[in-house]
């Protein structure tokens, strides 16, 4: 009997890749890991453990669920599995990949993938994505890169990638950087390496609610004031441009920041918030003077996850500021 060269653990969590037509129209979670793996032709020497963790649409995956995924991956690695693949809904895939990067750091390969088209649809992309993800997870070149996202034959770093289209199959991008590798004719080619260090965090206790409010033309003070007594742990504002809000919202933000941390991020989607460019009322300098925390390189959804994890560990405002400045 030939000795398996590489053992990979597949963790199914739901998403379109695992969905089938539901009564009354549309698709809903249906397949587990066995069905996902059925019919795949794996490279010689790869053995695949199959695990069903959940069968959820990805909007319902919680940070506690992501911790469950991270713990299951760590347990698999501890018993000698060489790589892990997580199938996941695409809607929040970038957030789970980012949270896994915070929880697991860099170690053996972890590859998150999904599909834009369910199994029954013409041109279903799940089998191709899953096959390529398993190849990446089985490739020693993926060691030490931190969790990766495989989509459309592209390999993305977990902290850079995001969903950029709601329906086309090529739905993920790491702009303004780029994918760090590709799977071509079945072979993994890395063009870049992820050298960015990320903080290490895990779920401590209860995860507090941290809403994200999007600013725009003339953010109203009432929008911020609505959170004055709300049971939330912090508020992230996806500010305009480099992290700005209307002058008339500043006082309400200041007041809320006396009670809970308020974090200013940017709604732009690419590029960090500014720190020392603009000095008018509602600018990043004005907000910093008032003690509002700056999200730096983290997108609003990432700032939210970092804040939720930090608060679940009981970290204070100063520690949170350091994390956001990481
Ligand atoms: N709504 C699905 C989900 O995120 C979309 C997908 O998987 O592509 O679960």
The residues spanned by each domain of the chain are 6-190, 212-324
Q: Is the CB of 153 under 6 A from ligand 1?
A: no
Name the CATH architecture for the domain at 6-190. 3-Layer(aba) Sandwich (3.40)
Dist. CA 227–CA 262, nearest whole Å = 11
How big is the CA angle at 295 (ends 114 and 146), to the nearest 5 degrees? 40
Q: Among the atoms of ligand 1, which is closest to the Cα of residue 91?
A: 4
What is the pLDDT at residue 12? 98
Q: How far is the CA of 278 from the centre of ligand 1 (A)?
A: 39
- Cα–Cα distance, 273 to 256 (Å, whole number): 21
Q: pLDDT (tens digit, 9 = 90+) per residue, 66-103? A: 999 999 999 999 999 999 999 999 999 999 999 999 99
User: Could you tell me the distance, in angstroms and rounded to a whole number, from the CA of residue 2 to the centre of ligand 1?
Assistant: 38
- Beta strands, E only, the chain: 6-14, 19-21, 27-29, 46-56, 83-87, 110-113, 148-151, 154-157, 162-163, 172-173, 181-184, 187-190, 212-214, 235-239, 262-266, 293-294
pLDDT of residue 225: 98
- Catalytically active residues are 16
Q: Indicate whether 29 pLDDT > 90.
A: no
Buried-exposed string 300-312: b where 16+ CB fall within 10 A, e elsewhere: bbbbbbbbbbbbb
> Cα 172–157–297 angle (5° rounding)?
95
Q: Which two tokens stand for residue 55?
A: 């069968």
Q: Is the CB of 116 under 6 A from ligand 1?
A: yes
Mean pLDDT of the chain: 96
pLDDT of residue 1: 39
User: Does residue 4 have a pLDDT over 80?
Assistant: no
Percent of the chain with pLDDT over 70: 99
In the chain, % helix, strand, coil (3-state, to 5) comes to 30, 20, 50
Neighbours of 245 (CB within 10 A): 29
240 strand-pairing partners: 244
pLDDT score at 3: 44
**Domain 6-190 identical in fold to domain 212-324:** yes
The domain 212-324 is classified under which CATH number: 3.40.50.920, 3.30.420.280, 3.40.190.10, 3.40.50.40?
A: 3.40.50.40
Which parts of 194-274 fold into alpha helices (H)?
A: 221-225, 250-259
Q: 162 — phi, psi (to 5°)?
A: -155, 160
Best residue among 57, 163, 167 to mutate for probing ligand 1's pocket (most ligand atoms within 8 Å of CB) is 57
For the stretch 216-249, pLDDT in tens is 999 999 999 999 999 999 999 999 999 999 999 9
Cα torsion angle, 299, 301, 307, 313, sign: negative
Instruction: Indicate if ligand 1 lies below 6 Å from the C-beta of 29.
Output: no
Rounded mean pLDDT, 175-190: 95
In whole angstroms, what is the distance from residue 86 CA to residue 53 CA?
10
Identify the DSSP state of 43. Answer: P
Tokens, residue 322: 């350091």
Specify the 3-state DSSP secondary structure of 182. Answer: strand
Gyration radius (Cα) of the chain, Å: 21
């Amino acid at each position: 009997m030939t000795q398996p060269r590489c053992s990979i653990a597949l963790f199914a969590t739901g998403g379109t890749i695992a969905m089938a037509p539901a009564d009354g129209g549309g698709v809903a979670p249906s397949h587990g890991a066995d069905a996902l793996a059925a019919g795949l032709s794996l490279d010689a020497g790869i053995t695949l453990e199959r695990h069903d963790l959940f069968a959820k649409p990805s909007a319902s995956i919680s940070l506690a669920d992501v911790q469950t995924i991270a713990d299951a991956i760590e347990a698999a690695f501890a018993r000698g599995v060489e790589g892990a693949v997580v199938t996941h809904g695409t809607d929040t895939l970038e957030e789970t990949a980012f949270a896994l990067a915070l929880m697991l750091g860099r170690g053996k390969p972890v590859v998150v993938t999904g599909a834009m088209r369910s199994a029954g649809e013409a041109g279903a992309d799940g089998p191709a994505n899953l096959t390529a993800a398993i190849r990446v997870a089985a490739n020693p070149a993926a060691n030490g890169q931190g969790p990766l996202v495989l989509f459309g034959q592209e390999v993305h770093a977990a902290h850079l990638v995001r969903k950029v289209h709601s329906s086309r199959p090529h739905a993920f991008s790491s702009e303004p950087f780029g994918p760090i590798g590709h799977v071509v004719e079945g072979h993994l080619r890395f063009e870049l390496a992820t050298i960015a260090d990320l903080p290490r965090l895990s779920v401590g206790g209860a995860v507090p609610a941290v809403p994200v409010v999007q600013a725009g033309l003339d953010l109203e003070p009432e929008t911020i004031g609505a959170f004055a007594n709300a049971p939330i742990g912090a508020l992230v504002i996806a500010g305009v441009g480099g992290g700005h809000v209307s002058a008339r919202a500043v006082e309400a933000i200041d007041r809320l920041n006396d009670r809970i941390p308020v974090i200013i991020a940017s709604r732009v989607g690419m590029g960090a918030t500014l720190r020392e460019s603009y000095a008018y009322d509602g600018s990043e300098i004005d907000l910093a003077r008032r003690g509002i925390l700056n999200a730096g390189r983290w997108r609003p959804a990432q700032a939210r996850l970092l804040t939720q994890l930090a608060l679940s560990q009981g970290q204070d405002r100063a520690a949170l500021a350091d994390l956001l400045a990481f």
